[in-house]
Amino acid sequence: MRGRCKQSPLNKKGYFYLLLMVVLCVMLVNCAGEDQPQAEGEKSELIQPAKWWEKLPRPIYATLEPVETSQKWFEVYRLIDNTYAIYEPYQFEEALSYLLVGSERAIVIDTGTGIGDLKQVVSELTDLPISVVNTHTHWDHIGNDYQFEEIACYNNADCIRRLQAGVGNAALQSSITGESLWKPLPEGFDPTTWSIPPMEPTHLLEDGALINLGDRTLEVIYTPGHSPGSICLLDRKNRILFTGDTFFPGPLYAHTEGVNIDHYMASIERLKSRLHEYDYLCAGHNDPWVKSSVIPRVADAFEEIMAGKGQYQEGDGIRRYYFEGFDILIRADMIKR
């Protein structure tokens, strides 16, 4: 082996450049990782089915109370008093943000893709000061953060780094081209200059922290797994849980870079152990009002997958497992045998 080393064409400088290239490649892979917009053509049918919008509207919306605003990019629904779901049905993510109005202040939980004018929507619903709380900092949850002065996220390095990095125009293009979009972009939106600007969090949240809005309080529940800094927010008084991407009724993203399956499963178990404290889930995508009884079934689903059971389709090493009311996307190599 030593002899072979001597014959290597690389001198010390060569090794340095090789090492540098490896480091750069690793950085590139990480940057293109979890929940970043994907280039057109890379989207698997398993992840984004063709003509996904033909299944809309989702049945739940006919049961909710619509609220008119001037911003037609969004559909707004009143879930309970002083609690609004702000939905983006025309873009594949079907992002959901929430406005919670208390007696003293209001918060927006996540700010969607950034395509529409979210600040205008919420300012038509409350006069109180509004700050942002991010369930995590993937691009489709922080798109309009920049419109607000106060931004909170979990005190986690990955979470903070994503917020500080923002997302450039080129990386966002696949989110508004091809079949990612099925209605025109809002008036005044310029796809050639659109970006998510780098931002600094103004507040860092810890597990168990209480966010006081006056007559209602939200508890931060740290639920890593989908991302290292994911949280859920419990409105105990109103018995609702804001889940971000930890749960939504669609294909849960457990396949992307940054996912930790053990942490994800432990977080779902944690939510299950607190099931007596909430009746409904307000999810980060698709459907803003889901019965909490789904949570134990998500726990069971992960267990089934890890035990080598469950129905799935596979493509490019990614499996989509099918369950009632949700699916799970996971890489085949993440499954313990």
* Closer residue to Zn ion (CB): 125 or 268: 268
CB closer to Zn ion out of 35 and 235 = 35
256 backbone φψ class: left, alpha, beta (φ>0; ψ -120 to 50)? beta
Residues of this chain that interact with Zn ion (CB under 5 A) are 35, 138, 245
Comparing every residue's Cβ against Zn ion, the nearest one is 138
Burial pattern 296-315, b for ≥16 Cβ within 10 A else e, equals: eebbebbeebbeeebebeee
Q: Report yes or no: 158 and 229 within 8 Å, Cβ to Cβ.
A: yes
* 23/5 Cα distance (integer angstroms): 22
> Smallest gap, in angstroms, from Cβ of residue 230 to Zn ion?
7
Closest distance to Zn ion from the beta carbon of 35 (Å) = 4
Judged by beta carbon, residue 116 or residue 251, the one nearer Zn ion is 251
Q: Which is nearer to Zn ion, 82 or 256 (CB)?
A: 256
3-class DSSP state of 269: helix
How many of the other CB atoms lie within 10 Å of CB of 162?
Answer: 29
Q: Which is nearer to Zn ion, 33 or 66 (CB)?
A: 33
| Smallest separation, CB 18 to Zn ion (Å) | 34
Give the SS3 label for residue 217: strand
Nearer to Zn ion among residue 138 and residue 216 (C-beta): 138
Q: How far is the CB of 236 from Zn ion (least distance, A)?
A: 24
Collapsing DSSP states into helix, strand and coil, what is residue 96? strand
Q: Answer yes or no: are the C-beta atoms of 180 and 91 closer than 8 Å.
A: yes
* Shortest distance in whole angstroms from residue 137 CB to Zn ion: 9
User: Cα angle vertex 75, ends 172, 62, to 5°?
Assistant: 130
The answer to whether the beta carbons of residues 69 and 125 sit under 8 Å apart is yes
- Would you say 88 or 245 has its CB closer to Zn ion? 245
- In the complex, minimum distance from the CB of residue 281 to Zn ion, in angstroms, rounded to a whole number: 15
Closest CA to 135 of 231, 63, 41, 48: 231
